[in-house]
Amino acid sequence: MTKKKKEPKASKQALEDSESGVDVTREAAKGQPAGQESAELIAKLQSELLYQRAELENFKKRTEQRYLESLKFAAEPVMNSLLPVMDNLERAYEHACAEGADVKSVAEGLSHIVNQLLNALENNGVELVDAMGEKFDPNKHEALGQVPGEENNLVAMVHEKGYTLNGKLLRPAKVFITRVAE
């Protein structure tokens, strides 16, 4: 059996202190009493702790500020995709108000603008809730009334279309459903 060499206590403490970043040997070389060394070390550690706390608080403030700024401008890509639609609506309005405007060409222009808007919405994750002829689903539809029909609870008429955003319902489709006459 081999015997382990015992390290002197002083060198073991110096090793531990050097691993923690404290240079005790340099402090001891100054010839100061041990109590004064401890007090200076405590003061140094307290100062470092205060500095680290301040750094953490500053980090929290910077992170919150970045988060709030990202929320503030989160809609920017959507708004940029809607601006051309707005431009086209303004042009269509000007054309419709012009003397001698052809109703058919205005209607055709508006149809193109509606398609442009639907494409912009789809590119940003908005999808239309298909309702006409579907079985009434209270998770996707809001019933406004009943109309006579051949089968119960079928969507007979859509008053307002419904939309989802990335699979989450934004607005239910407002519909009239069928009711078999008794």
Domains of the chain, with CATH numbers?
A: 127-182 (2.30.22.10)
Amino acid 32: pLDDT: 58
Answer whether 114's CB lies under 8 Å from 140's CB: no
Amino acid 15: pLDDT: 42
Q: What is the pLDDT along the chain (182 residues), one digit of tens a residue?
A: 555 544 444 444 544 454 455 554 444 445 556 678 899 999 999 999 999 999 999 999 999 999 999 999 988 988 989 999 999 999 999 988 888 888 888 899 999 999 999 999 999 999 999 899 999 999 999 999 999 999 999 999 999 999 999 999 999 999 999 998 87
Amino acid 35: pLDDT: 78
Answer whether 150's CB lies under 8 Å from 180's CB: yes
143 burial type by CB count under 10 A (0-12 exposed, 13-18 middle, 19+ buried):
middle
- Amino acid identity, residue 166? N
Per DSSP, the residues of 53-97 read: HHHHHHHHHHHHHHHHHHHHTTTHHHHHHHHHHHHHHHHHHHHHH
Amino acid 49: pLDDT: 96
In angstroms, the CA 151 to CA 134 distance is 11
Q: Is the pTM of this model over 0.85?
A: no
Which is it for strands 173-180 and 155-160: parallel, antiparallel or unpaired?
antiparallel
Amino acid 7: pLDDT: 45
In angstroms, the CA 38 to CA 16 distance is 15
